[in-house]
Structure 1
Amino acid sequence: MENRQGKGLSFARRIYRPRIIGAAMCSIGVTAALYPLAMPGWVWALLLVNGFVWPHLAYQLATRAKVPYDAEQRNLMYDALFSGFWAATLQFTPLITVTLLSMVSMNNVAAGGKHLLLRGALAQLLGVGVAGLLFGVHLNPSVNMAQVYACLPMLTLYPMAIGMVCYQLAIKLSEHKRALSALSRIDSLTGLLNHGSWKDLLQLKYHECQQQRSSATIALIDIDHFKQINDTHGHIVGDAVLRQLSLELRRNLRQNDLAGRYGGDEFCVILPQMRLEEAARIMEGLRETFSNYRAPHIPELRVSLSIGLADFQPSFTDAAMWLNAADRALYAAKHTGRNRVNVSDTRVAQFA
């Protein structure tokens, strides 16, 4: 309900300004066609209310309604009812009638598509019926220059207003699309890249290193005995540990380093333009810092990391080989005591 209400308020705000412009411009055209006809004073009063009071009243009705979206849908039907009424009252003067009915129909299509267009057409027929009962049904095929000039503002300003609303809506949709695209790449718990996004970027970095002969290192990070943490202290504590590691990664990494959550308790990092020895030093600092983490209300909890590193080698035929090298280094770290950084290059010893 809250989501529907929020959309309804936004819907009402988008229509408010075009309705002000459209109602005022339509009033000019209707005035030009009404002037030669002998109409009672209440018709002129109704025209003033419809042209200059109704847009503001409609906005208040929508924004103060329990469900603004439904209220604005009713307001659009009132717009259509008025247009049918004025078309019949003007004795179906061709230019004004076509302009008036088509503008309202265009608004309905823009706001609700075919469904709202059909509902609006029925409301227009109802308006025609009301005017027919009051004034009879007459046809006036003549068009004078005053009516032509009176229609010009409606034919220019109102479509521009509708176009601006559509443009602003397209911009918002584009922004939402970009935001959703970004969210689809992010792990909701840690705020880091998710598994798929990180692997896509690994492919890009692999080809970049291959083509530009640049250096880069990847790290696979595993929280030691994480299942035991969950089983002993619960998943809430486990989630807090995962978030803490993601926080430490942000603190210790550079802006252009790419960190992601690879699996349940595994994290992954791409370190562009960084050699293996430097990456090992940074990861060792991360390991030491993380080992000092203490969970609130659980002073006995201890955490540690096993980390495997692999730098890019020209002999790698694809990104999977590079990742497998880091995975083997991680496997070795986990099976030689855990709580250590291990590298795939035998030139660099283990860090304990």
Structure 2
Amino acid sequence: MLPAYGLYTHVRRNELRSRVLVGILFGLVLVLVYGIDLVVRGASGNLPRGMRPELSSYLSAAAQDLVWLGPLSFVAAFLWLWIAYRVHQAIIDRTVGSAAVGPAEAPRLYRLLENLCISRGIPMPALRIAEDPALNAFATGLNPGQYAVTVTTGLLEALDDREIEAVLAHELTHIRNDDVRTMMIAVVIAGIFAFVAELLLRGGYRPSGNRKGGSVPAVLIGALLIGLVWFLSQLIRFALSRTREYVADAGAVELTKNPDAMITALLKISGRGELAGAPSGVMELCVDNPRSGIADLFATHPSIDDRIAALTRYAAGRAL
């Protein structure tokens, strides 16, 4: 997190960095396809006519296949994104139990969000409430017409108006900085890699023992590439998410002019944000994600303590 005078510069740098990382994700699609082709050719022993059954032949054949498989893989990836574009909100609503609300159903929450949007000239996203005792909130959407902010009932019960306003401002900052669209694209593309890696682990490809004998080294190299692609995609997802939380906290302070409200909101949310029915992709979008990997290597959010320390240092907040 940077001092206030560096916030917009940091946002622009973060946006450029995010585009590069998302571009790398799409590039990894080619590596994935190459790895799959190696596994299939190595397991079946299938080589173009005239090629000797050597490892170099399998590597060369898989590279030649990329000429036509590469474009097809990009078409498939964009088709997958289009499907996510059409149905992602319905899937999220089903998994977390959320539903759209208006001023009649949630006057307090609607008023707070509306006032924030009016004060800054921000288009108002749709508002949704999830029936869950966890203390959390998240924004979703792939374009301005789809953007929505979802808040749990647990958050509404535990936080006062100033704290809820800070959380809403945090999510509005994610929307305003284009974080939501970037993260959702990353989650969808990385999900393809996870799906393929899981299929490989469950399928257990082996050389078929046909007349060409197959190639165990080709299968192993292909499997290694698939595993590497999955690992790198996870690191990219987490790199995208972690830095954005500091910027969103700073943006919340900019919108509300109240760093203490953001600090007390984070303190109340800390350790109480687990949405039991939510997949990992949704948790990555939340204000706080208590799920983490080994030694926090796969943690998608900075720790609450680190975020509070940044607010205290750069936004004149008071750690309570």
TM range (shorter): under 0.3
TM-score by length of structure 2 reads 0.26
Higher RCO (CA 8 Å, separation ≥ 6 residues) = 2
User: Highest Rg: 1 or 2?
Assistant: 1
